[in-house]
Amino acid sequence: GENVEQHPSTLSVQEGDSAVIKCTYSDSASNYFPWYKQELGKRPQLIIDIRSNVGEKKDQRIAVTLNKTAKHFSLHITETQPEDSAVYFCAASLSNFGNEKLTFGTGTRLTIIP
């Protein structure tokens, strides 16, 4: 089955700087890669996703890049703000819209230092 590894497990960034979280996956058939954000004591929420026919996707300060050859994808957050502090989970799936095969990484705790 799919195996998703996520690094780093913790990350501290000065407010205003950029943060990068990286994930690798094992199954070359995976074609859907979402990122979820979980603030302390709250539910995980989708913040951005990318499909295998796209190499990069941006949404304001958040961007995700995908390298299918190397089987890795990354989350980039620019101009970080205190509200970006949370745990971020990457995931990979064999299906564009079905979640039965969605495999999550272990999460990255991002702390923004004011």
Partner 1 sequence: ETGVTQTPRHLVMGMTNKKSLKCEQHLGHNAMYWYKQSAKKPLELMFVYNFKEQTENNSVPSRFSPECPNSSHLFLHLHTLQPEDSALYLCASSQDLSRPGGPSGTGELFFGEGSRLTVL
CA dist., res. 16 & res. 113, Å (int): 9
The answer for residues whose C-beta is within 8 angstroms of residue 99's C-beta and 6 or more apart is 93
Could you say which of 14, 54, 99, 113 contacts partner 1 (CB under 8 A)?
99
Could you say which of 40, 53, 97, 114 contacts partner 1 (CB under 8 A)?
97
What residues between 19 and 48 interact with partner 1 by CB under 8 A? 32, 34, 36, 42-46
Q: How far is the CB of 41 from partner 1 (least distance, A)?
A: 8
103 counts as binding partner 1 under rule CB under 8 A: yes
89 counts as binding partner 1 under rule CB under 8 A: yes
Cα angle 41, 47, 48 (rounded to 5 degrees) comes to 155
> What residue type is assigned to position 56 of the chain?
E
Q: How far is the CB of 7 from partner 1 (least distance, A)?
A: 13
> What residue type is assigned to position 82 of the chain?
P
Each residue 44-83 as x (binds partner 1 by CB under 8 A) or -, in order, gives xxx--x----------------------------------
**Tokens (6 digits) for 73:** 């994808």
SS3 88: strand
